[in-house]
Amino acid sequence: MKHFLSIRDLSRDDLPRLFAQIAELKARTKARDRSTPLPGRTLALIFEKPSLRTRVTFEVAMTQLGGTSVYLSAQEIGMGKRETVPDVARNLSRWVDGVAARVFSHRTLEQLAEHASIPVISGLSDLEHPCQALADFFTLWERGMDLAKLRLGWVGDGNNVCNSLLLLGSMLGTSAVVATPPGYEPDARVLEECRRLGGRIRLTTEAPEAIENADVIYTDTWISMGQEGDREQRLEAFQRYQVNDRLLAFAPGNALVMHCLPAHRGEEITDAVLDGPRSLILEQAENRLHAQKAIILNLLGGDQS
């Protein structure tokens, strides 16, 4: 693995080792292990979109690994406006050891990777959110769930998180039913790749169908950054897709609920569900730290034992 822009940068053979490595890194953190496998290494954080979890987890990950990070906002570097993406990539390659970028367009990530001589990690793009998907499936693996038999029910927008979950699920053998309003389905190229990987995915417009046999129910915001102008249209389109107690009545009693956050409480999910006993949401958020530490170690080198 040279970069981590997409779930497809992983292979099926990578996943058991990667999950075990994430678990070990988490255990070291819980044990207050002060070993620092990346002393002197620096990760640049390019953020066209702000974030709580992505920024904090990457910065803390580098600190715990013995390195440091440099945060670069869109206003500071004006990537693609004040300075071209290739020039940003070439300059950073002379100063730092890796780049994590949270961007609007997946093409920006691809350009960074094309022109950088250092690893590039996706912190999110319009196409995928691979770090989130890795942390999510690790969260389920950590609970002892058989991912090859897992049934995932997605309710809401077929967005970047959905795309990454479907790709990783297809590699792991997870089946999925995705419920979206017409016109909001997952990316067609992603669905084609999932089928090539042997993925078992069914699309529907009915939320109850997605969760009636689900082990895990997943939802995400209906209105991502950059979509604020479509707010009223989206709220109308998604009104039947809220994950609430009424919808959960269609699901098995032991089905768990996931959300990548931030949540718009009262829109795609209710307080009762988000804060309820079925919720894995804070576990997912915590595991972003450990999953990203594993990705950083694999790309930036150091002690990976």
Same domain, 229 and 191: yes
Domain count, the chain: 2
Identify the pLDDT of residue 62: 98
What is the pLDDT at residue 303?
Answer: 45
**Residue from 234, 260, 278, 284 carrying the catalytic annotation:** 260
Catalytic residue among 41, 220, 290, 292: 220
Which one of 136, 288, 290, 292 is the catalytic residue?
A: 288
Q: Tokens standing for 156?
A: 């809401």
Report pLDDT digits (tens) over 150-203: 999 999 999 999 999 999 999 999 999 999 999 999 999 999 999 999 999 999
Q: Are residues 159 and 279 in the same domain?
A: yes
132 is catalytic: yes
Residue of 3, 53, 102, 290 with catalytic role: 102
| Catalytic choice (21, 64, 111, 132) | 132
Q: What is the CATH number of the domain that holds 238?
A: 3.40.50.1370
Cβ neighbours, 10 Å, residue 189: 10
For 242-290, the DSSP string reads -BSHHHHTTS-TT-EEEE-S---BTTTB-HHHHTSTTB-HHHHHHHHHH
Q: Please report the pLDDT score of residue 304 as a whole number.
A: 41
Q: How far apart are CA 143 and CA 162, in angstroms?
A: 21
Closest CA to 178 of 140, 237, 215, 218: 218
In a domain, 305, yes or no: no
* pTM: predicted TM-score of the whole model, two decimal places: 0.96
Predicted local confidence at residue 118, as pLDDT: 98
Q: Are 103 and 160 contained in the same domain?
A: no
Name the E strands within 58-207.
68-73, 98-102, 120-124, 151-155, 175-179, 200-204
pLDDT at 302: 54
The whole-number pLDDT of residue 43 equals 98
Q: How many residues would you count in the chain? A: 305
Question: Structure tokens of 118?
Answer: 């250092």
Based on the fold, state whether residues 26 and 87 are members of the same structural domain: yes
Is residue 96 located within the same domain as residue 205? no
Domain interval for residue 200: 130-284
**Which residue ranges in the chain fall short of pLDDT 70?**
302-305
Q: Where are the alpha helices (DSSP H) in 31-84?
A: 53-64, 74-77
260 carries an active-site annotation: yes
Q: Is 288 a catalytic residue?
A: yes
**Residue 21 known to be catalytic:** no
Task: Specify the pLDDT at position 226.
Answer: 74
Determine whether 259 is an active site residue: no
Which one of the listed residues 41, 53, 115, 129 is annotated catalytic? 129
Q: Determine what percent of the chain falls in helix, strand and coil, rounding each to the nearest 5.
A: 45, 15, 40
Do 160 and 277 fall into the same domain? yes
pLDDT of residue 301: 85
Residues 81 and 225 in one domain: no
User: Are 13 and 109 part of one and the same domain?
Assistant: yes
Which residues does residue 130 pair with via DSSP β-bridges, in sequence order? none
